[in-house]
């Protein structure tokens, strides 16, 4: 019989667009004894997870739970439940994940009005309004809060107010923003929001934190046709996560153990303290990147603190630099996507990975590798710029 070796992966410093590093407490939680998905003790845990997610989403929404699937499942759940054949949807597209939302909405039968922006720039609210004016009866507006492919932070609140003025629901992709920067669902009046577990929350990938407003639930209850996805049909899943505990599917028990512990860590740190940590480390990283003479992809004034997209210098094999980071420094950063493929590095400082020592490590490693590749960089200038940021915020 063929024998297979045990898999023993090396611990990496994960500074890409996700996943982020995971606290040992979260990994230990996954090793807890298995329970049935209707066991009273597990049902009690479900209630605690809902409470914690409401804190992190800053919402009182009753329908708040983790979808059994990655962030893409959350996206599909939001759109599949809210869209019926022929509905009009306005979708902001300024990167990979806005384009995915637009395609998903089309597959659900929507007539999609794509509001395009250049990669690296925000979707301007006035263009969203122009698209809304062109609709007969807009069903929803969808935008990506933190565009992972470009590092752009999209203004949301004005667009949400605009959507409601035109009678539309507001859908927000918070996959790369939740637990890194504020996502105030109730204050912004977001009707549907989905995220993931492997970035700001710093749990393993596999669940999608999800929340729906009462406006959204009224739309779902009033559907003329059944949701096109049986697995993601909120009208059924909500009965499992609600008081009925009606069986729908077997929940990923151990993943929910992990999510619970990761959310406990988020709440222990405090949301404001967590947001400040991400802003401080991003400011130091970006100061160091600028000191090396490197350029940013994202529009100035709209750069994410949790993910920085950096242009690779002309003539540099960006893949070779990433490979050297991994093999020499045990550090992962992300490649560019779409039109940025081969041209951009994406450096993530999300959740557990957003640490001062990681900022210092990646800046020094990049400085050494780029200098060795022939880029003229004053040695030590990047760390000095980062240290100055930390000194100012001390």
- Write the pLDDT tens digit of every residue in 12-56: 999 999 999 999 999 999 999 999 999 999 999 999 999 999 999
* Preceding omega of 19 cis (within 30 degrees of 0): yes
Does residue 281 sit in the same domain as residue 224?
no
The answer to whether residue 1 sits within a structural domain is: no
Does residue 105 sit in the same domain as residue 207?
yes
Does residue 50 sit in the same domain as residue 111?
yes
Contact 331, 353 (CB under 8 A): no
The answer to whether residue 9 sits within a structural domain is: no
Contact 143, 163 (CB under 8 A): no
Residue 47 CB contacts under 8 Å (≥ 6 apart), including other chains: none
User: How many domains, the chain?
Assistant: 2
What is the CATH classification number for the domain harbouring 275?
Answer: 3.90.1150.10
Does residue 237 sit in the same domain as residue 282?
no
Does residue 280 sit in the same domain as residue 261?
no
Does residue 262 sit in the same domain as residue 329?
no
Select from 112, 152, 154, 103 the least CA-distant residue to 134.
112
Does residue 233 sit in the same domain as residue 282?
no
Which helix (H) or strand (E) segment holds residue 208: the answer is strand 207-212
Does residue 233 sit in the same domain as residue 304?
no
Which helix (H) or strand (E) segment holds residue 65: the answer is strand 63-68
Does residue 190 sit in the same domain as residue 287?
no
The answer to whether residue 357 sits within a structural domain is: yes
pLDDT for 144: 98
pLDDT for 294: 97
The answer to whether residue 8 sits within a structural domain is: no
pLDDT for 55: 98
Does residue 319 sit in the same domain as residue 176?
no
Q: Which of 84-93, 188-197, 221-230, 375-384 has the lowest mean pLDDT?
A: 375-384
Say which DSSP state 154 is in.
-
Last residue of a domain, one of 242, 268, 294: 268
How far, in Å, CA of 152 to CA of 298, rounded?
Answer: 5
pLDDT for 393: 83
pLDDT for 48: 98
Whether pLDDT at 379 is above 90: no
Mean pLDDT score, 151-161: 98
Whether pLDDT at 394 is above 80: no
What is the CATH classification number for the domain harbouring 38?
Answer: 3.40.640.10
Burial per residue of 364-390, b for 16 or more beta-carbon CB atoms within 10 angstroms, e otherwise: bbbbebbeeeebebeeebbbebbbebb
Mean pLDDT score, 188-216: 98
pLDDT for 23: 98
Structural domain that includes position 90: 24-268
Per-residue pLDDT of 299-357, as tens digits, reads 999 999 999 999 999 999 999 999 999 999 999 999 999 999 999 999 999 999 999 99
The answer to whether residue 15 sits within a structural domain is: no
The answer to whether residue 113 sits within a structural domain is: yes
Residue 66 CB contacts under 8 Å (≥ 6 apart), including other chains: 49, 53, 197, 207, 208, 209, 210, 256, 259
Does residue 232 sit in the same domain as residue 251?
yes
Does residue 276 sit in the same domain as residue 389?
yes
Last residue of a domain, one of 221, 251, 268: 268
pLDDT for 3: 94
Tell me how long the chain is: 394
The answer to whether residue 18 sits within a structural domain is: no
State the chain's maximal CA–CA distance in angstroms. 67
Per-residue pLDDT of 205-261, as tens digits, reads 999 999 999 999 999 999 999 999 999 999 999 999 999 999 999 999 999 999 999
Q: If pLDDT is split at 50, 70 and 90, which confidence band does 133 have? A: very high
Percent of the chain with pLDDT over 70: 100
Last residue of a domain, one of 268, 302, 326: 268
Per-residue pLDDT of 254-295, as tens digits, reads 999 999 999 999 999 999 999 999 999 999 999 999 999 999
Contact 237, 228 (CB under 8 A): no
């Amino acid at each position: 019989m063929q024998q297979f070796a045990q898999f023993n992966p090396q611990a990496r410093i994960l500074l890409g667009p996700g996943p982020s590093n995971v606290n040992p407490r979260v990994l230990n939680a996954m090793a807890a004894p298995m329970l049935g998905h209707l066991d009273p003790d597990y049902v009690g845990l479900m209630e605690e997870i809902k409470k914690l997610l409401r804190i992190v989403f800053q919402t009182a929404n009753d329908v708040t739970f983790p979808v059994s699937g990655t962030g893409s499942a959350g996206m599909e759940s939001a759109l599949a439940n809210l869209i019926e054949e022929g509905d009009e949807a306005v979708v902001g597209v300024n990167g990979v994940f806005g384009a995915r939302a637009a395609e998903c909405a089309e597959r659900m039968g929507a007539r999609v009005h794509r509001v395009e922006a250049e990669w690296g720039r925000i979707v301007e609210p006035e263009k969203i309004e122009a698209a809304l004016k062109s609709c007969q009866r807009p069903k929803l507006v969808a935008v990506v809060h933190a565009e992972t492919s470009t590092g752009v932070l999209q203004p949301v609140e004005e667009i949400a107010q605009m959507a409601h003025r035109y009678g539309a629901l507001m859908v927000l992709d918070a996959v790369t923003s939740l637990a890194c920067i504020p996502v105030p669902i109730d204050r912004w009046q977001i009707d549907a929001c989905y995220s993931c577990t492997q970035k700001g929350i710093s749990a393993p990938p596999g669940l999608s934190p999800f929340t729906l407003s009462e406006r959204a639930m009224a739309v779902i209850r009033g559907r003329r046709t059944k949701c096109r996805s049986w697995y993601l049909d909120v009208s059924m899943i909500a009965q499992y996560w609600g008081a009925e505990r009606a069986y729908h599917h077997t929940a990923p028990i151990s993943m929910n153990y992990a999510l619970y512990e990761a959310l406990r860590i988020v709440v222990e740190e405090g949301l404001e303290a967590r947001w400040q940590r991400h802003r401080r480390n991003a400011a130091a990283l970006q100061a160091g990147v600028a000191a090396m003479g490197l350029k940013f992809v994202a529009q100035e004034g709209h750069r994410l603190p949790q993910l920085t997209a950096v242009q690779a210098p002309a003539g540099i094999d960006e893949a070779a630099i990433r490979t050297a980071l991994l093999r020499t420094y045990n550090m992962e950063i992300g490649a560019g996507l779409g039109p940025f493929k081969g041209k951009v590095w994406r450096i993530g400082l999300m959740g557990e990975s957003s640490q001062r020592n990681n900022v210092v490590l990646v800046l020094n490693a990049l400085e050494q590798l780029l200098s060795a590749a022939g880029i003229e960089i004053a040695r030590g200038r990047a760390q000095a710029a980062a240290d100055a940021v930390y000194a100012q915020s001390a």
